[in-house]
Structure 1
Amino acid sequence: MRAAPHMRGASRGGRLHRPARRGEQPAAQSAHHRGARIPMLHSRHDPANHFSWAANMHRQTRGTTVPLPYEGAGHSVYGRSDCTRDAVDDYLTELRIPSPGSSCAPAATN
């Protein structure tokens, strides 16, 4: 647990993905604003992709994305809680985006 405190029992994540090297960032991205903004969900304790990568992606697409961090652990967030599921469903059905600065609390069990 000391070597990987955020893994929390992830079964495959640690074996399938190599850890990021110090200073490594994802390739630069661009997204052109076409009206509707896009919610960007990411787990705070993702065993495969460090949260800093999502933060960097948001910095590069600030005019298009609205971050909604899931404060728990896990790689995919859609079904983690009512909050994450509702945020995605609201966007897909009504183009409603989360309020800037909001986040989803961790579920009782991950």
Structure 2
Amino acid sequence: MFDPDCRTWPFRSAEKAHPIASKSAAPIVVVGSTGDAATPYASAEKLAAQLGNAVLLTREGDGHTGYGWSACIRASVDAYLIDGAVPAAGTRCATDAAG
């Protein structure tokens, strides 16, 4: 049986999850998709909040990841990586591709 996230392994870690924080001065862009079953949107919201200096870029729609599904997400991510342009807080993008 293929188990990519190891949920069926008989071993459990004794370590507890800990908050993630960034000491980076540069803003961080977190991309989340509202209908992503593999990485739930609520997790993207929590990550962006924990980082403190992050902007959450949202893709509305089903499917895993955002970059291949939306020209708006691609343009925002490319502008961030190439020019350092951070999308406005609350930016939401439609799905316009089939991944």
Q: 1:54 aligns with which of 44, 49, 53?
A: 44
Structure 1 equivalent of residue 68 of structure 2: 79
Gapped regions of structure 2 (runs ≥ 5): 8-16
Structure 1 equivalent of residue 23 of structure 2: 32
Q: 2:35 aligns with which of 41, 45, 54?
A: 45
Kindly indicate which of the two structures has a greater share of residues assigned to strand: 2
Paired-residue identity, %? 32
Secondary structure at the aligned position of 1:97 is classed as: coil
Misfit runs of 4+, over 3 Å: 15-18
TM-score by length of 1: 0.69
Gapped regions of structure 1 (runs ≥ 5): 1-11, 19-25
TM-score by length of 2: 0.76
